[in-house]
Amino acid sequence: MASLMSAKRKDLSPIVHLYEPLSQAEDTAIKSDATSSGPPNLIILAGWAGAKLRPISKYVQGYQRLYPAARILVTQSQFFDLAFRTLRSTQKRLDPALEVVQAAACANERILLHSLSNGGAFIATQLAVKYRLATGNPLPIRAHIIDSAPGVATIRRGMAASAAAAPKGWLRPLVLGVLYAFCFTIWLTSRVFKTVNVVDRIRRGLLNNEILAAKRQISYIYSKTDQVIGFEDVEEHATEAEEKGLKVKRVVYEKSAHVAHAVADPGRYWSTVSETWEQA
């Protein structure tokens, strides 16, 4: 499987990658029936902040086993994107992803969105904003898997996220110091000046029917022992989604770590993905 993935991966930019496992003939046959019910044609997989392609590939492999005929669009992000990069700059970096999504939408393809942690949710919502600006329409997804997100902006959670995203080695203490200072600044300014911080923007974006299709099925996958994202924060967001009339499924793990639910119980995880799509 790994060699097949490597051979079929197209690096559209340093942070956008497209996996096309099918031959052109097979692909054409599937797209001809794209408007009917069936498996997704395009899966948008937004990785967590700091994730390399190797750990993200575990999710790619899972999707290739579940939906071997689907193309998989992978986006990567860094903590820098959430902390320091402007929204316009972030959206500009998603130009290659937008081209893929626009082509899929024009062909009436079935699209599934899967975001991992706040980093993935941030990139997913910014891609949706970019699509809205380009087309005037919400991103036409049928289902959204939200793994380990969204959180809330607290100092403790921010420090935990920073520790998870910081590189190992001699630079780690320096990077952590900068990230901790940033987390405190964000928390302080949002409290004093009532500004909208990046985490609040993520929470709002995930519920915004102007940028994400209103009839989407959402599944929240989260854990009671996640040190980065509090399960209470996810459940509160799920309740808000239900109050907005969205179709919601909650899948809670008892002991899995942050973005490690697919490792803790892969059978349950991928069954959730499959059931979510079937209910969409």
Residue by residue, pLDDT tens for the chain (280 residues) are 444 454 489 999 999 999 987 444 344 445 545 456 799 999 999 999 889 999 999 999 999 999 999 999 999 998 778 777 889 999 999 999 999 999 999 999 999 999 999 999 999 999 999 999 999 999 999 999 999 999 886 655 555 555 565 556 766 676 666 666 666 666 666 666 666 688 889 999 999 999 999 999 999 999 999 988 999 999 999 999 999 999 999 999 999 999 999 999 999 999 999 999 999 9
Q: What is the pLDDT of residue 132?
A: 98
Q: What is the pLDDT of residue 7?
A: 47
Helix axes 117-135, 95-106, angle to 10 degrees: 60
For the chain, what is the HEC assignment? CHHHHHHHEEECCCCEEEECCCCHHHHHHHHCCCCCCCCCCEEEEEEEECCCHHHHHHHHHHHHHHCCCCEEEEEEECHHHHHCCCHHHHHHHCHHHHHHHHHHHHCCCCEEEEEEHHHHHHHHHHHHHHHHHHHCCCECCCEEEEECCCCCCCHHHHHHHHHHHCCCCCCHHHHHHHHHHHHHHHHHHHHHCCCCCHHHHHHHHHCCCCCECCCCEEEEEEECCCCCCCHHHHHHHHHHHHHCCCEEEEEEECCCCCCCHHHHCHHHHHHHHHHHHHHC
Contact 64, 72 (CB under 8 A): yes
Q: How many CB atoms lie within 10 A of CB 68?
A: 11
Who contacts 1 (Cβ-Cβ below 8 Å, separation ≥6)?
Answer: 61, 64, 65
